[in-house]
Every structure is written in C-alpha cells, then in structure tokens.
A and B are shown apart, each in its own frame.
Chain A
C-alpha cells in the first residue's frame, strides 16, 4: 500500500466538478484508491462519495492506493491533486 497526505489549496475544496476530474484520473488505475478525511473514506472512483467528504480549502486528506499499480497510482494522484486542488 502506498499513501500520502495532501493539503487542499483549491478555494472550493472537492466539489462536484473537480471531483469528477479526480474520478476520471482514479479510473486509469487498477489499484483501489481511497481518499480519507474527517474519519470517513471515499473510493476515488465514486463521485458522490468524494463530494460527501466535504473537503474544504486547508483540509488535509490522506490518499491511499493498494493494488498492482499502487506505486504509479499514488504518484499520479499526488501530481494530479497538486495541479488541480
């Protein structure tokens, strides 16, 4: 399992539209990718689950990837978050 933390800098956190982009990215990988915040975890492939986390600017989320391509998935998600969130 690979994991990292990320501090949201996007003004509106994870709302519907950027969450959709995140889902698309997560679908590129075989690994299960979870985004956790405030004691809840969301499958990064599930838009509503991500939206329900209620992540806002300044919040720290932790992202884990587990599976055959976890190394690649984890670093790609880190890059993606840094450039979109």
Chain B
C-alpha cells in the first residue's frame, strides 16, 4: 500500500478526483494549528500541514516550476504541473536569519522534478540560534480545490504522501 501510494504520488495523481502531494521534508507530521506562528496556525495563507524536520533538506514534492524564492532563502513557492501552488516555509520567524544557514539549489522559474533538492539548511544551527523549525507546507490556491487534508501521521520521509487535495466537481 505504501509503495503504491508512493508511486502514485510520484506521478502526481492519487485516486480519481484527488491529488496527492508528497512530503518535501522528512520528519514528524504535526497539524498546522500547532505551529507557533498565528499566520500559519490560523491558516491565513491556506490549508496544509507542518513537518518538524529531522534533516535539513527540502525536495520538490512534484514535477513543476519554482515560482518564488525569497531573498531570505527560508521558503520556496512551487507550482505543480497540475496547478497546485505550494509554499514550503522552513521554520518560524526564520526570515530574520536573512539567508544564514540556508542554501537554495534552484532559482525562480526553474523546472523541477519530484525529488530534486530545493533547499538545504543547517537544522542544528537554526535551532541553536533560537528558532523553531516547524515547517508549514501550505496549499496557497486552496480555493481551487474542494479541500485539503493530511494523509500522513507520525513521521514521514521525503517523497512519501503528505497531503491530499480533493478536486472540485
């Protein structure tokens, strides 16, 4: 089941009427409401889930295009070939690090394949600097779908299913 799920996920399409999104990070899956940042916890930017990473790597969860990489390098905005707009925001308040401890491997406009490394970050150094590392993975254009839900529980490895979007009828 897990294997099939992973395969479906890599080609971007889950069961009929839904889109499966793979996890861009490895770590513990936590609800968005538990992220110590109101904007994410209250789903101001959209629905999704957060991952508490256990390694400093963000990969592309699908084939698509890098839409935005802020100068502070702590986040990446992606658009999948199916039109899903996903924001991966590493840590909380990490914009204040001004790019320190982050290395971005892609540029705005780049085409990426599922599994491509997008961002590498020094998890220990970010923690040591006093920042929380909960990483929201947010569907920014959630209005285009009927709903989003987490399908992972406990821990997830990058590339494994994380979110499912239900398509509108």
Residues of A within 8 A of B (CB): 12, 15-21, 23-24, 47-48, 51-52, 54, 56
Contacts and interface: CB of A to CB of B under 8 A. Distances in A.
B87 A47 contact: yes
The prevalent SS among residues of B at the interface is: mixed
Contact of A52 (B45, B75, B96, B108): B108
A20 B67 contact: no
18 contacts: A12-B95, A12-B96, A15-B95, A17-B37, A17-B39, A19-B45, A20-B39, A20-B46, A23-B45, A47-B77, A47-B85, A47-B140, A48-B87, A48-B140, A51-B68, A52-B68, A54-B71, A56-B71
Given A16-B75, A16-B89, A48-B77, A21 B44 contact: yes
Size category of the binding interface on chain B: 20 to 34
B83 interface: no
A48 B45 CA distance: 11
Interface of B: 37, 39-40, 44-46, 67-68, 70-72, 75, 77, 79, 85, 87, 89, 95-96, 108, 140
